[in-house]
Amino acid sequence: MNDYVNISSWLKRSAEIYPFKRAVVYPDSRDSKGRVLYSQLSFRQLERQSDRLAFGLETTGITRGTRTILMVPPGMDFFILIFAMFKVGAVPVVVDPGMGIDRMLSCFEQGKPEAFIGIEKAHVLRKIKPGFFKTVKTWITVGKRWFWGGYNMDELIIDRDDPFPVARTTSDENAAILFTTGSTGPAKGVVYTHGNFNAQLTQIQEHFKIEPDEIDLPTFPLFALFDPALGMTAVIPDMDPTKPAFVNPERIIEAIENHGVTNMFASPALLNRVGKFGKENKIKLPSLRRVISAGAPVTPANIEQFSSMLSDTAEVHTPYGATESVPILSIGSHEILKETRSLSEQGFGMCIGRPICNTRVAVIKLSDDPIKRFSENLVLGENEVGEIIAKAPLVTRHYYNNPEEDMLAKIEDEDGFWHRMGDLGWQDTKGRIWFCGRKSHRVVTGSKNLYTIPCEAIFNNHASVFRSALVGVGPKELQTPVICIETVPKVNNKKQLIRELQELATSNDLTKSIEHVLIHPSFPVDIRHNAKIFREELRVWATKKLGF
């Protein structure tokens, strides 16, 4: 028998404890002198508005279990909508628009949605591509409804003050379907239950020690969802959330200074851009207590650069996880810069920290096949590279309508299951896990395995290298390792650089089997983080380049 759990109860609690504290602050416009004018909602207002909208959603047929596409950017309407949906028990279907329109549409079709809530642009898209939305019966527009019919969000906010009778959802009941970015394969719909969300919020609050007076700048849209639940004021940044690598640093710093932001969640790309600007202009951000950066590997150099703006007590935290399980491990910048950085640069991998709270993490023998049952015999000893697996209440149980991926990603045991992260790593004597790259990206030469992160670190030490990518060409089990290089700007003598990198490779046991060095003009990377390298595309390019 499952207990009653509804994630919207976290907002209700915040509204009771901090009724007049700002829940959401949104940059609405600018005055004639360029100063930002903000609109805002208190926790009590957000609770009441989402109650009123929940009554309205019910009248449209969006009720408990209704899978509903949500295409609304972070802002007032987003927060009112998402909590109203949780209250009625609807299941938001959320896709990162940064993955591109075609892949996004494919995800929507896969999610078999029954309702659609979106801004005007979203409705234009669904009218142009109607074939992807055949299962949708209810349409709601956030903004002006033009020629496409359906409901308007504003008319669904019913004027009544009695609290909405929240759906009595259970801990194992579906709360949302969040699609992975699909950076290493087809995007998958991760099914979050109300119990998963509840455990996730508990873990974030306990590990990062979120305090009552916190103000957050969530530069990643989905992370904004946690703020009202945790009692943090969410200051929505003035930026395009799909392009953090091209953010205006002054707008981010402006928001931090205007509101005394204490917490910021940022992708590595945004961290790098803002950190570079801040260091060059000697900017200090004393209000920040912590910065949380995730979504892609965060280099120590990136962390050090941003840390120049922080006080001595503030840290950059780099939690590790995936859409299916986040956060499960974490480490702070003090330990990275003082201890693990030098080892990472020598090819030990990237230290991603220790398990958070009650999370169990293990490293198991390397296998590409399904593993039906967990056994202690699978677990490797210290210093041995294998696949990282995790077990915790926040770890999701299923993909939506995808039993094949469930078989590959989950391992049953006597009291639950483990999730296979698809990442390689090893555990040191201090209980820390070191990340060595994606399992699917390892290069199998026949005699040994080469791992991306350790090998690439050797080449990244060269001053002319911006980033590198290890790929394998040829037969699957007998690959030839190739290192692809993206240089820093203005490298003129590339032949000389290739010679130097070949000498660098032969001088290190990790890389001495790598004979081929190729210069690539600009790596294919994910749109959002500008950091996840599409090695599959580089492998095809390298194969053609070498004539294999």
Query: What is the number of other CB atoms lying within 10 angstroms of the CB of residue 196?
Result: 26
Q: Is residue 272 domain-resident?
A: no
Structure tokens of 246?
């091209």
Claim to verify: residue 143 and residue 60 sit in the same structural domain: yes
Claim to verify: residue 45 and residue 105 sit in the same structural domain: yes
The CATH code of the domain that includes 197 is: 3.40.50.12780
Claim to verify: residue 459 and residue 529 sit in the same structural domain: yes
Claim to verify: residue 455 and residue 414 sit in the same structural domain: no
| Contact status, residue 425 vs residue 215, Cβ threshold 8 Å | no
Query: What is the number of other CB atoms lying within 10 angstroms of the CB of residue 538?
Result: 22
Question: Can you say how many angstroms the Cα of residue 295 is from the centroid of all Cα atoms in its chain?
Answer: 4
- Mean pLDDT score, 37-56: 98
Distance CA 390, CA 493 (A): 46
Examine the fold and report which residue of 171, 202, 233 is the final residue of a domain before the chain moves on.
Answer: 202
Examine the fold and report which residue of 153, 169, 202 is the final residue of a domain before the chain moves on.
Answer: 202
215: confidence class by pLDDT, cuts 50, 70, 90: very high
Per-residue pLDDT for 221 more than 90? no
Distance CA 174, CA 194 (A): 6
pLDDT digit string, tens, across residues 113-123:
999 999 999 99
Q: Is residue 3 domain-resident?
A: no
Structure tokens of 212?
């009552």
Examine the fold and report which residue of 170, 202, 234 is the final residue of a domain before the chain moves on.
Answer: 202
- Mean pLDDT score, 235-243: 90
* Total domains, the chain: 3
Claim to verify: residue 409 and residue 468 sit in the same structural domain: no
The CATH code of the domain that includes 530 is: 3.30.300.30
Residue 1 confidence (pLDDT): 45
pLDDT over 90 for what percent of the chain? Answer: 86
Residue 476 confidence (pLDDT): 87
Claim to verify: residue 498 and residue 534 sit in the same structural domain: yes
Q: Is residue 110 domain-resident?
A: yes
Claim to verify: residue 418 and residue 465 sit in the same structural domain: no
Claim to verify: residue 396 and residue 520 sit in the same structural domain: no
- Mean pLDDT score, 60-84: 95
The CATH code of the domain that includes 389 is: 2.30.38.10
Per-residue pLDDT for 350 more than 70? yes
Radius of gyration of the chain (CA): 24
Claim to verify: residue 102 and residue 155 sit in the same structural domain: yes
Distance CA 360, CA 185 (A): 26
- Cross-strand partners of 140: 117, 151
- Mean pLDDT score, 436-441: 96
| Contact status, residue 47 vs residue 69, Cβ threshold 8 Å | no
Distance CA 93, CA 80 (A): 16
Structure tokens of 502?
């070949």
Query: What is the number of other CB atoms lying within 10 angstroms of the CB of residue 476?
Result: 7
Angle in degrees, CA 321, 179, 352, rounded to 5: 10
Q: Is residue 340 domain-resident?
A: no
pLDDT digit string, tens, across residues 299-344:
999 999 999 999 999 999 999 999 999 999 999 999 999 999 999 9
Claim to verify: residue 181 and residue 82 sit in the same structural domain: yes
Mean pLDDT of the chain: 94
Claim to verify: residue 430 and residue 462 sit in the same structural domain: no
Domain that holds residue 541: 442-546
Claim to verify: residue 15 and residue 135 sit in the same structural domain: yes
Identity of residue 498? I
Q: Is residue 90 domain-resident?
A: yes
Q: Is residue 39 domain-resident?
A: yes
Q: Is residue 489 domain-resident?
A: yes
